[in-house]
Structure 1
């Protein structure tokens, strides 16, 4: 009888034990930066149905759950997947599949790279991007004389690093019937002794591109998939794609449906009249992969090509003020239409004149409207009196622009205007958040260069010794938030991504070092050991 009673008690105890819950994965032994509201650290979490189910100790999770996959992080650093808040996704893919001119130190080096590429590819047209005349001796724009000799019949487009200028050979100029008499609003034609050099600024490029041989759908698909692979390599799980046309959106949508495109895209539809008409009528598009709820409009050009619109002339070109790429009348009308919807407006503004005008248009259009999160993309040069206007306008900034431009920016602007240039800390203090990105392929893809530039305000050679305008450096925590949860906030996505918290997408990365602790000079060399999207590994 006593034996039977003992067995009954044991059976009762066993039946009272809870059966373990099935989950997809448990990650243990991690140095986890959750980037939650209090910036808590953790060591383990469970994943189910592509989302974080619980964050706790490894013991608690393993006692509670049984997992298909157990990932032992072996003490390595885990962070939320990075979000690039301003980039050009297909543009990156195009660069990966064409001639890369980034880092070229002379026009002779540019030509050599083109010759090497064309000898191998024998392409019917030549497209390349990445040169910067500020890296050349004399810092002057190149001309197309040599290109015309080398390629008299093959159209060639050599695009400046920022995309706001390009050098075309005569065969390319002929496509658009570009001559010394050509004119276009928002564009310029660089001449020497009254003759075209082949360099076209901002909208002048459209005369050629509107007649450029069409890229095939297959080529565009390959570019998008190449960009996805490159982004995963650097721990990027969401990209804010700044300015996408209807055809590009259609191709992306088809790739999501086929399962080939997995990375999450926050798409800023190009703010053309037809796109405004379509989306303001049909509403926001939201899936786990693609989110379309904003428009991108450009108000001016770039500082490097002297297209950024300034309130006073350039210090190194006394008759040049820059270029208004979009008329203020169009921008104001578009802003008013968008303000009466749930959509967001994200406007490229680099020069102090462009920022001044856009901020005023925003303020007027948004009067009485709360939490609209309209963004100024770049917010690069701000007049002293305009900083306070960012109280309810979100700055979307790219730290590597500061460290790329620092060598020559003061020549363009003069010492006084430099005080309001690349003022990231001041913008953060006013708005309370900043969204950080790269603007790739204008800059390199690596978010670790973003992190380094934001904190150290130096290039990878540790120049300048004491940092560039260090009063506007961000802390490591501020930088990580800007690359994750604040970027998600800028997309109205803070409740689904940007931190390792229960209920959010299990988008996270494992790094080979702790970028919050190692010497800042080591951060650019960081390697991503694995990128997880919805709990699934993306690196082979």
Structure 2
């Protein structure tokens, strides 16, 4: 028996050593913490879904025994990426419909729609993504070919920015659209007394409201399909801009079931029922869902000439675009949101729309504050208006790929002088010392590596222009990474729980195949996500 004691003691010691005090240890990594000092580490520890320690592997291994160990093989590790402006649900629904992104002619669009309709033989034909600015003929298309192919079946195809669409006669008939019909904040194009099928901004809704509502099954499929693609590009939080309040319970239920793991910051649409819902129940906050803001549309898009400009478009005389609602409406909404303590987020593209909204914001914010009201896009801002952002702590929420997508044709819309005050991200950053970045997907590609590339190199995916576009407004790599992590979290009032790899925060992180801080500029768009984690649990791995 005495001989057995040493063996038993060894077994007891071995068992004691396996008393785990952590769930995950990530080591042999170049960890960009994105803390206030932008410090790096080579390891960190996760317990119960949160970061519990960050530092040197030797000291961490002495203190922690983790159930799982990830050897990052020297790869760069970053906080989970945050898209500060996207249309997550819309993107998911688009995956259920016909994709027209990148097609180079109206003929290619029609052929694609025809093939799609041959497979999906019932109901409306819905598509999105066409952009006349990339066609040889850059004029808006006409519905004649759609009418010929689909004399009875309704068709509506949205432009890439969502601010214009083309509908066939069958769809227009269902919606009761007539030649010469007028609508505030929109345009129903009529040529020689006949409808062309082109609808701009508020006119689009006349038709889309007639599309049968999606089933609960379709909605869930859209959210989960969008999630899958977003995890593959390293996104762990998305700001979904302008959802109906009814989506809150759907998202919450899917998250509660564990199916929807994507964290979401939801802005409710500018409708009476949205205000009633949130004012009555208050902000909705869980680890995965944050609802405390409203998305308001100030004007349309530059590509469809719906952006509201102080002076006429350079390529369309006597046309300044338009606001999508009256100034009185924006004033009423701002006052209402301010009085209830919520966040206002307003789409503003043109310099006139930005001026109107900045002045309304200033009247309600009254100087320095921490309400974090946001101007979404802030694309064209008159130089004399830029200071209003800083004076009232208004947050410019921008999407760098808009600059590189628009640069080849924006000069035609604006003229060279006015373009200089457009897409001025560095200048906007200086106003408050921080700036959140997003993509506006599905208007742009969901890939945040393109955001990083466009923000820092100011080039398109072909590497043009050689010297970069208006490089005085390029961001540094550190600024761009902050804009996609901690500053995006701050725009959502979430900087204390995510956006950096620091003790106490959610263990949301990504492992990349190349280091964004050190890679050549030309390599940045091709950086791939190897793994994506939420709460320290892997949600994506590159095959």
TM-score by length of 1: 0.95
In the alignment, what sits opposite 1:204?
203
1:268 equivalent to 2:270? Answer no
Q: Is 1:24–1:49's contact at 8 Å kept on the other side of the alignment?
A: yes
User: Following the alignment from structure 2 to structure 1, what is the Cα–Cα distance between the partners of residues 397 and 484?
Assistant: 11
Question: What secondary structure, in the 3-state scheme, does the structure 1 residue paired with 2:415 have?
Answer: helix
User: Following the alignment from structure 2 to structure 1, what is the Cα–Cα distance between the partners of residues 466 and 121?
Assistant: 45
Question: What secondary structure, in the 3-state scheme, does the structure 2 residue paired with 1:408 have?
Answer: helix
Question: What secondary structure, in the 3-state scheme, does the structure 2 residue paired with 1:172 have?
Answer: helix
Q: How does 1:97-496 map to 2 (within 5 A)?
A: 97-367=96-366, 370-391=369-390, 392-496=393-497
Q: CA RMSD in A?
A: 1.7
User: Following the alignment from structure 2 to structure 1, what is the Cα–Cα distance between the partners of residues 119 and 367?
Assistant: 59
User: Following the alignment from structure 2 to structure 1, what is the Cα–Cα distance between the partners of residues 101 and 119?
Assistant: 19
Q: Is 2:308–2:353's contact at 8 Å kept on the other side of the alignment?
A: yes
1:502 equivalent to 2:503? Answer yes
- Please state how far the C-alpha of 1:181 moved relative to its aligned partner: 3.2
More deviation, 33-42/274-283: 274-283
User: Following the alignment from structure 2 to structure 1, what is the Cα–Cα distance between the partners of residues 59 and 128?
Assistant: 52
In the alignment, what sits opposite 2:3?
none
Per-residue CA deviations over 1:132-174 (Å, capped at 9, x if unaligned) read: 1111123100010000001111111111000000000011111
In the alignment, what sits opposite 1:4?
none
- Please state how far the C-alpha of 1:194 moved relative to its aligned partner: 2.5
User: Following the alignment from structure 2 to structure 1, what is the Cα–Cα distance between the partners of residues 215 and 18?
Assistant: 55
Per-residue CA deviations over 1:264-319 (Å, capped at 9, x if unaligned) read: 00011112122112212321110001001111100100000000001111111112
Aligned residue pairs, count: 528
Question: What secondary structure, in the 3-state scheme, does the structure 2 residue paired with 1:340 have?
Answer: helix
Q: Is 1:88–1:242's contact at 8 Å kept on the other side of the alignment?
A: yes
User: Following the alignment from structure 1 to structure 2, what is the Cα–Cα distance between the partners of residues 444 and 166?
Assistant: 19
More deviation, 108-117/258-267: 108-117
In the alignment, what sits opposite 1:3?
none
- Please state how far the C-alpha of 1:369 moved relative to its aligned partner: 6.2
- Please state how far the C-alpha of 1:435 moved relative to its aligned partner: 0.6
Q: Is 2:245–2:273's contact at 8 Å kept on the other side of the alignment?
A: no
Question: What secondary structure, in the 3-state scheme, does the structure 2 residue paired with 1:538 have?
Answer: strand
- Please state how far the C-alpha of 1:18 moved relative to its aligned partner: 10
Per-residue CA deviations over 1:410-452 (Å, capped at 9, x if unaligned) read: 1101122111100001001122111100000000000000011
Q: How does 1:28-39 map to 2 (within 5 A)?
A: 28-39=27-38
User: Following the alignment from structure 1 to structure 2, what is the Cα–Cα distance between the partners of residues 57 and 367?
Assistant: 47
Q: Is 1:382–1:421's contact at 8 Å kept on the other side of the alignment?
A: yes
Q: Is 2:455–2:480's contact at 8 Å kept on the other side of the alignment?
A: yes
Structure 1 19/213 Cα, relative in aligned 2: closer, same or farther at 3 Å?
A: closer
- Please state how far the C-alpha of 1:95 moved relative to its aligned partner: 1.8
TM-score by length of 2: 0.95
Question: What secondary structure, in the 3-state scheme, does the structure 2 residue paired with 1:178 have?
Answer: coil
Question: What secondary structure, in the 3-state scheme, does the structure 2 residue paired with 1:257 have?
Answer: helix
Q: How does 1:28-67 map to 2 (within 5 A)?
A: 28-67=27-66
More deviation, 432-441/94-103: 94-103
Per-residue CA deviations over 1:217-267 (Å, capped at 9, x if unaligned) read: 211111111001111010000001100102222221221222211100001
- Please state how far the C-alpha of 1:119 moved relative to its aligned partner: 2.3
User: Following the alignment from structure 1 to structure 2, what is the Cα–Cα distance between the partners of residues 214 and 489?
Assistant: 35
Question: What secondary structure, in the 3-state scheme, does the structure 1 residue paired with 2:540 have?
Answer: coil
Structure 1 18/150 Cα, relative in aligned 2: closer, same or farther at 3 Å?
A: closer
- Please state how far the C-alpha of 1:112 moved relative to its aligned partner: 1.9
Question: What secondary structure, in the 3-state scheme, does the structure 1 residue paired with 2:65 have?
Answer: strand
- Please state how far the C-alpha of 1:19 moved relative to its aligned partner: 9.3
Question: What secondary structure, in the 3-state scheme, does the structure 1 residue paired with 2:386 have?
Answer: helix
Unaligned runs of 5+ in 1: 1-6
- Please state how far the C-alpha of 1:21 moved relative to its aligned partner: 5.4
User: Following the alignment from structure 1 to structure 2, what is the Cα–Cα distance between the partners of residues 344 and 283?
Assistant: 12
User: Following the alignment from structure 1 to structure 2, what is the Cα–Cα distance between the partners of residues 155 and 446?
Assistant: 32
User: Following the alignment from structure 1 to structure 2, what is the Cα–Cα distance between the partners of residues 46 and 124?
Assistant: 52
Per-residue CA deviations over 1:32-74 (Å, capped at 9, x if unaligned) read: 1110000001110000000000002112111111111011001
Question: What secondary structure, in the 3-state scheme, does the structure 2 residue paired with 1:78 have?
Answer: strand
In the alignment, what sits opposite 1:96?
95
Per-residue CA deviations over 1:321-359 (Å, capped at 9, x if unaligned) read: 112112211111111121123311000000000000000
User: Following the alignment from structure 2 to structure 1, what is the Cα–Cα distance between the partners of residues 239 and 154?
Assistant: 31
User: Following the alignment from structure 1 to structure 2, what is the Cα–Cα distance between the partners of residues 237 and 361?
Assistant: 33
Q: Is 1:344–1:373's contact at 8 Å kept on the other side of the alignment?
A: yes
- Please state how far the C-alpha of 1:525 moved relative to its aligned partner: 1.1
- Please state how far the C-alpha of 1:519 moved relative to its aligned partner: 0.8
Question: What secondary structure, in the 3-state scheme, does the structure 1 residue paired with 2:165 have?
Answer: strand
User: Following the alignment from structure 2 to structure 1, what is the Cα–Cα distance between the partners of residues 20 and 327?
Assistant: 59
In the alignment, what sits opposite 2:536?
535
Q: Is 1:175–1:212's contact at 8 Å kept on the other side of the alignment?
A: no
Q: Is 2:310–2:351's contact at 8 Å kept on the other side of the alignment?
A: yes
Q: How does 1:60-75 map to 2 (within 5 A)?
A: 60-75=59-74
User: Following the alignment from structure 2 to structure 1, what is the Cα–Cα distance between the partners of residues 204 and 279?
Assistant: 29
